[in-house]
Amino acid sequence: MTNFNEFQWAIFLYWAVSYKDDLKGNKGSDLDYINLMSEAEFLRDLRSQPNQLKVEDIQNKVIGFLNLWKCRIKGDDQIALKLREVLVQSQQSLNDLKSLSIFDFNNSSATQNDEIQDIYSRIDKIPHFGPTAIAKTLHILQPSLFVMWDNPILSHYHVDAKAKGYIVFLSKMNKMVQELMVDFKSKHSTDTLEAFLCQKLDCTLRKTMAKFLDEYNWITITKGLSVPPKWWPS
């Protein structure tokens, strides 16, 4: 079981690694995420009326971001057009899920799971969209609910890279966040977990718990760093 002390150490280490990358001007840093997720008007249209968006905007902003985060998607307008078509087809499901967060994920809800699997499977049919790109795209669409992953992370949690495996992964993330909340509330009675972390890190963008879960996984699994660090005195 992950305790809150380990979790907040991982979030701090993610901030430190990303801050160093930002200073160096490295591509694929957290600044790219912050820049995209600050595009309020574009994201509103992407999530609620994608048919109003120009294909080149989807290409430049969404696929451009995915490639900065090493998804290696072919950069042509046909891919962006297919993504727009999928989003138009998925509007009802996205609308049904828009108020949910990872705290609310219910593995026993057949309707909820069917909607998530439907969106995942639709994106999975787009050329060059592997599981990492799919999960990142889902997170862009609903950042409170969908947790990103990569190959080391899905392997660590022993889940399949297809839609049903992503449901299992979200269930594991929900279990983790429920355990973290119990530990957090035993030490802090006023803040929410997300607000506490954002305030401590002076976040310029209000991050969601789904994003913080990805940061924890990336630091401890993808990067393989210890939390707390081995150099930290007990």
The pLDDT mean for the chain works out to: 92
| Euclidean distance between CA atoms 199 and 197, whole angstroms | 5
In angstroms, the CA 76 to CA 81 distance is 9
Q: State yes or no: pLDDT of 25 exceeds 80.
A: no
Using pLDDT thresholds of 50, 70 and 90, give the confidence band for residue 26.
low
Helix (H, G, I), strand (E, B) or coil at 162: coil
55: tokens are 């294909």
Higher pLDDT, 27 or 106: 106
Distance CA 195, CA 202 (A): 10
Rounded CA-CA distance 47/164 in Å is 23
Task: Report which residue type is found at 153.
Answer: I
Determine the pLDDT at residue 22: 65
